[in-house]
Amino acid sequence: MTELILQKLKEKFPEAVVGFEQQYDFPIFIIDKNHIKEVLTELKIDEELNFHFLTTMCGIHYPDNPQESEFCMMYQLHNMPKNIRIRLKTFMPKSDLHVPTVTDLWKTANWMERQEYDFFGFIFEGHPNLTRILNMDEMNYHPLRKEYPLEDLRRDDKDDKMFGR
């Protein structure tokens, strides 16, 4: 089935698929950000592929990646009748965290997109109510970005040599 998906996507969107990898039982398709919405739409409406269920979507921050691919939006889709799951990833720079909404494809994306806006700062173009969902409105940062030290470096009351750090 993975070969069929890859073939169909490359035929219909030749510039969209920029990479592919297999991690355990998950095929992962790397999709150009400019084509992510049309690829997701095709995966849902194609009767043979039938990825009708959005299992999850989440933002990922890869601070060690090159700046043009520092952030990623990952979509996990499921074809329940055939029990096939796939992932799609699209990468982008910190300076352009704009992604089209998929709330018109899957209603469940509403809260998922709001969460990724809240925690990472992704802007979902066309979202019906893109507001914070878990953090306070007064927060002026996005807490799941890996831009902050894990611990307060000013503390001198901790001796980490016993913990291998």
> The domain spanning residue 116 has which CATH number?
3.30.460.80
Specify if 37 maps to a domain. Answer: yes
Strands 53-61 vs 71-79: parallel, antiparallel or unpaired: antiparallel
Q: How many domains does the chain have?
A: 1
Confidence (pLDDT) at 154: 76
Residue 154: count of CB within 10 angstroms of its CB:
6
Specify if 162 maps to a domain. Answer: no
Confidence (pLDDT) at 148: 75
Helix/strand/coil for 107: coil
Specify if 120 maps to a domain. Answer: yes
With tokens 């089935």, the residue in question is 1
Encoding tokens for residue 11?
Answer: 């035929």
Specify if 74 maps to a domain. Answer: yes
pTM: 0.88
- Work out the burial of residue 137: count CB atoms within 10 Å of its CB; fewer than 13 is exposed, 13-18 middle, 19 or more buried: exposed
What residues make up the domain containing 33?
2-146
Residue by residue, pLDDT tens for the chain (165 residues) are 889 999 999 999 999 999 999 998 899 999 999 999 999 999 999 999 999 999 999 999 999 999 999 999 999 999 999 999 999 999 999 999 999 999 999 999 999 999 999 999 999 999 999 999 998 988 888 989 998 776 767 777 766 666 655
Task: Give CA–CA dist 121/59, Å, rounded.
Answer: 9
Confidence (pLDDT) at 124: 98
Specify if 159 maps to a domain. Answer: no
Specify if 164 maps to a domain. Answer: no
Residues 60 and 71 sit within 8 Å (Cβ to Cβ): yes
Alpha helices in 15-146 (DSSP H): 36-45, 109-120
Specify if 154 maps to a domain. Answer: no
Specify if 70 maps to a domain. Answer: yes
- Quote the distance between the C-alpha of residue 107 and its chain's center: 17
